[in-house]
Amino acid sequence: MRALPTLLFFLLLLGRAQCEEILRVEGYPRPGGVLFVTLEGLQGPWDGKALFGGKTYAFTEGPGGFELLLPISPEARDKAILLEVPLPSGRALERSVGIKPYRFAIQRLWLPASTEALYEHPYVEEEYRKIDKALLTFTPERQWKENFARPCSGGVRTDFGIRRITNGKPAGYHRGVDIAGAYGEPVYASNKGIVRLVSHTFQLHGKTVILDHGQGVMTLYIHLSSVQVREGDVVEKGDPIARVGSSGVSTGPHLHWGAYVQGEPIDPRLLFAVPRSWR
């Protein structure tokens, strides 16, 4: 009979351990990287948030728990960034995420004065305003499935994150990858998503498509020769959405393909290998 209280105490401890919240962080902790965060063991519903790098991000509910994708800025200089998740109980889970150093190449470009002046034209501000608004759209429901796919077949011509010096002056960094392609070659959706923006008239970016994959993940396709989708369309991974071109400020046919998480550019090729627990 004396064994019963001991057994009951053990079962209570076991139950408590089984219900304990666990914070799992996977992915690519480097500048231009992305983290896949899962909070397990918390009973929903819950509209929780996380604090990371001085910003607040919202969790969404997924099959494995509460999920969150976090971007790491290509300009990150910190050796570690604190991730803090306040819980309904009043306590908080914390994780110091070590940021691996990453060196981006430098590219020197020389543009005619007439081309360089295009970046200062009044319409450019309006283009960026529309693009930024679309990229900051947050759809809680996950649209994407498994790994992302390459949107066209060519090789990378200009890498992500390259620091550009144009006509001897710093001109920021490359926010996507330029993929070589023949004029008119098909461009495919890199994953399932909702078409959030289509433009046939942008002067700097050229013909443009932005897809919303849910959970703050967006992909951008620019310098297109033609577009085959409309805003609001739902496309599946591998669906043709456009064709390679050289519209806008471009030196020849190619696809500029970008990926953004919570509005921050990341290296899109990292989405080719999503953690297995998220597929």
Separation CA 138–CA 279 (nearest Å): 20
Q: What's the rounded mean pLDDT across residues 211-222?
A: 98
pLDDT of residue 19: 56
> Which tens digit of pLDDT belongs to each residue from 42-97?
987 899 999 999 999 999 998 889 999 999 999 999 999 999 999 998 999 999 99
> Which tens digit of pLDDT belongs to each residue from 8-49?
333 333 333 445 899 999 999 999 999 999 999 998 789 999
CA distances from 37 to 64, 274, 278 (A): 11, 12, 10
Q: Which of 12, 14, 82 is nearest to 52 (CA)?
A: 82
Least confident span in 60-69, 177-186, 236-245: 60-69
pLDDT of residue 209: 98
Report all structural domains of the chain as residue ranges with CATH numbers, in order of start: 3-98 (2.60.40.10), 115-158+177-269 (2.70.70.10)
Burial class (CB in 10 A: 0-12, 13-18, 19+), 33: buried
> Which tens digit of pLDDT belongs to each residue from 251-261?
899 999 999 99
Separation CA 85–CA 57 (nearest Å): 10
pTM equals 0.91
* Percent of the chain residues past pLDDT 90, beyond the cut: 77
